[in-house]
Amino acid sequence: MFTILRDLTRHNMEFLGGLVLFAIIVGLIILSYFSPYGPTDIYLLPPDMPPDGDYWLGTTSRGQDVFWQLTTALRNTLYFGIGVAFLSRIISLVVGLVAGYAGGAVDRVLMAINDSVMVIPQFPLLILFYFVLKDSMTWTALIVIMAALGWSYDARLIRSVAISLKTRPFTTQSVYSGMSMRKILIQEHLPYVLPIVFATTMNNMIWSIGMEITLSVLGFTDIETPTMGMMIYWANAHSALIAGIWWWVAAPVAVIVVLFLALFLLSMSMNEYNDPRSRLNRMGG
pLDDT at 136: 76
pLDDT at 77: 94
pLDDT at 280: 64
Angle between helices 66-102 and 13-32 (to 10 degrees): 130
DSSP states along 3-69: HHHHHHHHH-HHHHHHHHHHHHHHHHHHHHTT-SS-TT--S-S-TTPPS-SSSTT-B-TTS-BHHHH
- CA dist., res. 180 & res. 109, Å (int): 22
* Total length of the chain: 285
Q: Residue 63 corresponds to which amino acid?
A: G
Q: State CA 7 to chain mean position distance.
A: 24
Q: How far apart, in Å, do the first and last CA atoms of the chain sit?
A: 22
pLDDT at 220: 86
- CA dist., res. 279 & res. 194, Å (int): 17
DSSP states along 245-271: -THHHHHHHHHHHHHHHHHHHHHHHHH
Three-class DSSP category at 103: coil
- CA dist., res. 96 & res. 160, Å (int): 8
- 204 strand-pairing partners: none
pLDDT at 233: 94
pLDDT at 130: 86
- CA dist., res. 29 & res. 258, Å (int): 14
pLDDT at 67: 96
Per the CB < 8 A criterion, the answer to whether 240 and 217 are in contact is no
- CA dist., res. 174 & res. 167, Å (int): 12
pLDDT at 281: 66
- CA dist., res. 80 & res. 225, Å (int): 12
- HSE (CB half, 13 Å, CA atoms) of 87? 17
pLDDT at 26: 95
Phi-psi region of 65 (alpha: psi -120 to 50; beta: other; left: phi over 0): beta
pLDDT at 195: 80
Residues with pLDDT less than 70, the chain: 1-4, 276-285
